[in-house]
Amino acid sequence: MSEPNAVRGEFEFEIGGRRFVMVPRFQNIARIEAGLGRPLFQAASAGLTVAELAMIIDTLAKPEKPRLSRDDIGDMILDSGGVVAVAPLIERLVNRVVMGGQTDPGGDAGNGNPRASDG
């Protein structure tokens, strides 16, 4: 597994015992918003379905082998506590969209380590 590149805004997110390197770059966020049919921050405040959350993880995750299907990711979400388990990821993404490249005030999303080093 590759390490996240903090300079590019990449970060780790773990769910269902699997660690993902999330890549919140413009192209990926634009794909997410196209899939949601609305801006990410609006969708997050209105509530996201498990299928939408699986799409977000699938779109942001750096490709790994073996690649998980969206169904597999959806099952991981449900088996790991549902929407609540993914809330730190969504919060971090919305902060990234709203605040740009500024430091994430919520700390290291997804692993319970507030203010963990990004490097």
Which of helix, strand or coil describes residue 71? helix
Kindly indicate the confidence band of residue 101, based on its pLDDT and cuts at 50, 70 and 90. low
Choose between 2 and 119: higher pLDDT: 2
Q: CB–CB of 72/78 below 8 Å?
A: no
* Percent with pLDDT over 90 in the chain: 37
List the one residue out of 65, 68, 57 whose CA is nearest residue 22.
57
Instruction: Work out whether the CA dihedral 3, 63, 25, 102 comes out positive or negative.
Output: negative
pTM over 0.85: no
| Residue 90 C-alpha from the chain's centroid | 6
Q: Minimum mean pLDDT among 47-56, 72-81, 97-106: which range?
A: 97-106
